[in-house]
Amino acid sequence: MSTVAAARPTPYSFEPASTALLVIDMQRDFLEPGGFGESLGNDVGQLRRTIAPLAALLADVRAAGLTVVHTREGHLPDLSDCPPAKLHRGAPSRRIGDPGPNGRILVRGEYGHDIIDELTPLPGEPVVDKPGKGAFHATDLDALLRARGVRSLLVTGVTTEVCVHTTVREANDRGYECLVLADCVGSYFPEFHRVGLDMIAAQGGIFGWVADSPQARAALATPSVSHPSS
Ligand code: C5J
């Protein structure tokens, strides 16, 4: 058993064998110029501070043998899985499916849709393609996690208040315990990031727990022996 004593609102304990690291949408379309994030008028530089801590966490989690799952938001080339309510919302300078410097915006198979070089998935690590904001919506993520016996999630990625928040809410409703790692999630809006994390940990941890990744890495490095209650 590993325990993150400094987690908010209470210490967070997890069994590494039944825990997965979830890396949400660390795609060029959100983190690099010319993609979907920038087309919506955002400063993509705001998200890049997550890369170094996430790369360090990923290395430790891989070494400890935890399940690692990556997700990518995007759509089929014919956009048949992109509802009009999503396609037409937001008044971006370029819409989903339009050509951009990194290929068609948020379309599967395009250069911009793929995960940034710094966090390339290893062979064998599942990459879940999702059409929505939540990683459980219209994907096999739940089945994939249950098949591996996963009950706890270390949640990272972008953006804090959109795909991370939606996924944590979905996971909580499905019975997973989520620890969101504050320095490994990011938003284009610092205020939304702060409030988004506060919302997760508020009301006694209504959706989950929040901590920084060095605390989770330290917990992984110093597991304690759990004693079954008598
Ligand atoms: C957004 C995401 N923000 N991955 N997607 O549209 O958070």
Domain boundaries, the chain: 18-221
Q: Please report the pLDDT score of residue 230 as a whole number.
A: 37
Would the CB of 158 count as within 6 Å of ligand 1?
yes
Q: What is the distance in A from the centroid of ligand 1 to the CA of 199? A: 18
Share the mean pLDDT of the chain: 95
pTM comes to 0.96
Beta-ladder partners of 192: none
Tell me which residue of 47, 30, 24, 29 sits closest to 187, measured CA to CA.
Answer: 47
Known active-site residue 98: no
Q: What is the distance in A from the centroid of ligand 1 to the CA of 166? A: 10
Would the CB of 161 count as within 6 Å of ligand 1?
no
The protein residue whose alpha carbon is closest to atom 4 in ligand 1 is 163
Q: What percent of the chain has pLDDT over 90?
A: 93
Structural domain 18-221, CATH architecture: 3-Layer(aba) Sandwich (3.40)
Report how far residue 133's alpha carbon sits from residue 137's, in angstroms, rounded to the nearest whole number: 8
Pairing between strand 152-158 and 19-24? parallel
pLDDT above 70: residue 227: no
| pLDDT tens, position by position, 143-177 | 999 999 999 999 999 999 999 999 999 999 999 99
The protein residue whose alpha carbon is closest to atom 2 in ligand 1 is 163
Structure tokens at 81: 């899985």
Q: Please report the pLDDT score of residue 223 as a whole number.
A: 82
Would the CB of 163 count as within 6 Å of ligand 1?
yes
Known active-site residue 82: no
Q: What is the distance in A from the centroid of ligand 1 to the CA of 214? A: 25
